[in-house]
Structure 1
Amino acid sequence: MKFFISVLFLFVLFSYAAAYDPLDPNGNVTIKWDIVSWTPDGYVAVVTMNNFQMYRHIMSPGWTLGWTWAKKEVIWSMVGAQTTEQGDCSKFKGNIPHCCKKTPTVVDLLPGVPYNQQFTNCCKGGVLAAWGQDPQSAVSAFQISVGLAGTSNKTVKLPKNFTLLGPGPGYTCGPAKVVPSTTFLTPDRRRKTQALMTWNVTCTYSQFLARKNPNCCVSFSSFYNETITPCPTCACGCQNKNNCVKSDSKFLKMVGLNTPRKDNAPLLQCTHHMCPVRVHWHVKLNYKEYWRVKVSITNFNYRMNYTLWSLVVQHPNLNNVTQVFSFDYKPLVPYESINDTGMFYGMKYYNDLLMEAGPLGNVQSEVLLRKDKDTFTFKQGWAFPRKVYFNGDECMLPPPDTYPFLPNSAHQHLSFTSFTFIAAMFFLFVTLW
């Protein structure tokens, strides 16, 4: 019995620890309910979902929100969203509710719905951008009319057991808590109004709950060593190795191959690491005062497009990023005294979509960094990142003892281009002599 309790305690402790992200300590999805008016048997509320995660977005097919009613409430109508099931409304005659389920499940509407079904910040197919990437697109909202509920602050009961899927598991939601009422501006922005009652629900993400294996891996290479450090074998688990597809297979020419499945089951290209995504970090050039890195992201999943993708890298020299050539870049400073983390993401309408596996299934950029004279070195793998996240999930890095090492004869401050130039001049001199 004691052993069982200990194991349970460790499991709970690990789950909560996994939900805490040291690179985004305040990241969460906050769901806010604002009651804006009372009705004869309930209220009308505006439900707003804010994704305050700096680099983790909710991608297609979008968020799914659920809860349990505290009493016998029903949803008379919704604008900007809908429930997936109506439930048993047989006891109602005449005006039939939108949903009578004790545990409703709500999804966002798709873009292009009729105007009378739209609401501010609705109808994005459930896609929420990361707050650090695009704050204006990190908000989703809908309006809900609730019946058979209380008609005052004292009689309204808060819903319980909130769940958030986005688009798979990983989020854990806390209880609803009454907070100070939200203040709104009237459409002419000349007068302030206040919600009649407001409560918040906070949901946090845990990669441990989302999947038992990583979703990406990292490989390394450098100009000063011919060795390429690959992703670890079975870095993302090898449960799909019997269903993977070789890159030269005729199966890839089948119509509908790239259609996603309802269960989001991947169709992976056969690799030794069996990861849907690989990030490659290549130390490309060394100048006198700068050094240059090439970053490549490859998608090995034939059924998945990654929209609004993001890449987070932790490296001590990111406080001196000088130029990023074909990605957007934003420093992340989770703690005031540390500036070693940055977020890369695609340029809008250019490379913000990482296509499925195949010739177009990769994006890449180069980063120019100024050397910090006190800490810069190529020795002992210093030039490679400490942590890498893709779409908010931490990637599997190779073991440190496999990193490309600096040859003993290499001069730390000799640029590769300079070395090539000197070698060419020497060869020319010998030939003419």
Structure 2
Amino acid sequence: MCAKLASWKMKLLVSSCFLALLHLAAAYDPLDPNGNVTVKWDVMSWTSDGYIAMVTINNFQMFRHIGSPGWKLGWSWDKKEVIYGILGAQTAEQGDCSKFKETTIPHCCKKDPTVVDLLPSAPYNQQFTNCCKGGVVAAWGQDPSSSVSAFQVTVGLAGTSNKTVKLPRNFTLLGPGPGYTCGPAKVVPSSLFLTTDLRRKTQALMTWNVTCTFSQFLARKNPNCCVSFSSFYNDTITSCPNCACGCQNNSTCVKSDSKILSEAGINVPRKDNAPLLRCTRHMCAIRVHWHVKQNYMDYWRAKIAITNFNYRMNYSLWTLVIQHPSLNNVTQVFSFDSKPLAPYQPINDTWMFYGMKYYNDMLMQAGPSGNVQSEVLLRKDKNTFTFKEGWAFPRRVYFNGDECLLPPPDTYPYLPNSANRIFSTSSALGTSLLLLATIFL
């Protein structure tokens, strides 16, 4: 009996370890190995029965932002804490505060509150530094100054010293959907702050951090985007794979000429973020197309197009990440802003592309305006460059932090046998075209 019990415990332990490793593997992103969202609590002052804290949400992910409808931060109190007041945010529910007989009723009495950001239109006396963005937080690699959100919370019935305060538990972070897993709160060295005149440092009375990581595996069953390919040297267009993003909901998609699209309010996002997809073979909200456009003596040019097939979604602050060996030799990018993800590494084959502000930084919903395009001019590395065997196509593609499904390698546009002769006879013309492109584009 004891042997069977020991064997059962061992199996349970192995299963638990396997699930833990599976989660870690799913959350680890080789293109952003240190990316996370850190929630920091700084206790700034004590009150008669609690404290006032500044809560800061820092998005340290290089290319994954928190888009509309914004973040939701939740936790469970360890004791009988309540939120007396809050600036820069609000709780989703007040809870049962009937036991409080005072004139001022607490803002929230729930054991497990959920906090959301305020909108930019919030009254001035309810705002706080770095608040009121509707929960939208930019990716750190795209815009560090906008990658932070904060609010102030006054907590009661909580203890009035470092020894009596208990850290909240069971933190959760929701972006526009699931996918984030938060670890336990950990006490860290107290934060330091500079006064407005930059002449004096102040220090938080107590600080704890919570680290949250994203897993696409937990966020959704299927990808949200796919990739298609084409080239100037072959008429073949490699489409997104069939059902790349799942076809279980293809009965609810709409055709581009459907009368339903003319109904009032059809483009308004729903609270559950349910998409309204255009009917396609791939059934993805986003398609990224990479076209090998031109070949020159020392350079080559690729065209990138992003198409939105979701009639209910405008993608603001969108990001596109592409991994390709030639991106280590980027010469010029047209129509998009861009930057390398690892600019100080000897080999940087991964770049992030994003829209120019007030020009194409919003990818509109499905329809005539639902696409953005750019071209990339790349210098050839004579030791590695080739058009053979699909080398000219990306190795990985991410849109808004979600990895897109690439076509099978054996379907890529192939290089004709006569291509080398064609390239050599057109090299002089290619050099002239490159000069013209550099001047006029």
Query: In which range does the TM-score fall when normalised by the shorter chain?
Result: over 0.9
Q: State the aligned residue count.
A: 421
In structure 1, distance between residues paired with 2:264 and 2:12: 51
Q: Provide the residue aligned with 2:436 in structure 1.
A: none
SS in structure 1 of the partner of residue 252 of structure 2: coil
Aligned-partner residue type, residue 51 of structure 1 = N
In structure 2, distance between residues paired with 1:7 and 1:245: 43
Q: Provide the residue aligned with 1:425 in structure 2.
A: none
2:316 to 307, 310, 330: 307
Name the % identity: 77
Q: Provide the residue aligned with 1:359 in structure 2.
A: 368
State the 1:252 CA deviation. 1.6
State the 1:418 CA deviation. 5.7
Q: Provide the residue aligned with 1:89 in structure 2.
A: 97
| Structure 1 runs, 4 residues or longer, greater than 4 Å off | 1-9, 415-421
1:67 to 61, 64, 75: 75
Q: Provide the residue aligned with 1:344 in structure 2.
A: 353
State the 1:157 CA deviation. 0.4
Check conservation: 1:218, 1:280, Cα contact below 8 A: yes
In structure 1, distance between residues paired with 2:178 and 2:72: 10
C-alpha deviations, 1:355-386, integer Å up to 9, x for none? 01000000000000000111000001000000
State the 1:113 CA deviation. 1.2
- Runs of at least 5 residues in structure 1 that lack an aligned partner in the other structure: 422-433
Q: Provide the residue aligned with 2:26 in structure 1.
A: 18
In structure 1, distance between residues paired with 2:410 and 2:61: 33
In structure 2, distance between residues paired with 1:412 and 1:160: 67
Check conservation: 1:287, 1:416, Cα contact below 8 A: no
In structure 2, distance between residues paired with 1:332 and 1:282: 22
C-alpha deviations, 1:223-264, integer Å up to 9, x for none? 000000000000000022101111122222111110111111
In structure 1, distance between residues paired with 2:223 and 2:175: 17
1:155 to 154, 157, 164: 164
In structure 1, distance between residues paired with 2:426 and 2:13: 61
SS in structure 2 of the partner of residue 13 of structure 1: helix
State the 1:193 CA deviation. 0.5
SS in structure 1 of the partner of residue 125 of structure 2: helix
Alignment of 1:167-246 (within 5 A): 167-246=176-255
Aligned-partner residue type, residue 319 of structure 1 = N
Instruction: Answer yes or no: is 1:277 the counterpart of 2:315.
Output: no
Check conservation: 1:302, 1:357, Cα contact below 8 A: yes
Query: Pairwise CA RMSD of aligned residues?
Result: 1.7
Aligned-partner residue type, residue 76 of structure 1 = Y
SS in structure 2 of the partner of residue 82 of structure 1: strand
C-alpha deviations, 1:131-181, integer Å up to 9, x for none? 000000000000000000110011110000000000210000000000000
SS in structure 2 of the partner of residue 242 of structure 1: helix
Q: Provide the residue aligned with 1:34 in structure 2.
A: 42
Check conservation: 1:286, 1:415, Cα contact below 8 A: no
TM-score normalised by length of structure 2: 0.92
TM-score normalised by length of structure 1: 0.94
Instruction: Answer yes or no: is 1:262 the counterpart of 2:271.
Output: yes
State the 1:10 CA deviation. 3.6
SS in structure 2 of the partner of residue 101 of structure 1: coil
- Of 141-150 and 333-342, deviating more is 333-342
Check conservation: 1:285, 1:415, Cα contact below 8 A: no
- Of 4-13 and 190-199, deviating more is 4-13
Question: Residues 69, 286 of structure 1: CA spacing in aligned structure 2 closer, same or farther, 3 A cutoff?
Answer: same
SS in structure 2 of the partner of residue 263 of structure 1: coil
Q: Provide the residue aligned with 1:109 in structure 2.
A: 118
Aligned-partner residue type, residue 143 of structure 1 = Q
Check conservation: 1:287, 1:415, Cα contact below 8 A: no
SS in structure 1 of the partner of residue 260 of structure 2: helix
SS in structure 1 of the partner of residue 250 of structure 2: coil
Q: Provide the residue aligned with 1:132 in structure 2.
A: 141
SS in structure 2 of the partner of residue 380 of structure 1: helix
Alignment of 1:300-339 (within 5 A): 300-333=309-342, 336-339=345-348
State the 1:8 CA deviation. 5.4
Question: Residues 158, 419 of structure 1: CA spacing in aligned structure 2 closer, same or farther, 3 A cutoff?
Answer: same
SS in structure 1 of the partner of residue 150 of structure 2: strand
Q: Provide the residue aligned with 1:297 in structure 2.
A: 306
Aligned-partner residue type, residue 382 of structure 1 = W
- Runs of at least 5 residues in structure 2 that lack an aligned partner in the other structure: 1-7, 431-441
State the 1:115 CA deviation. 1.1
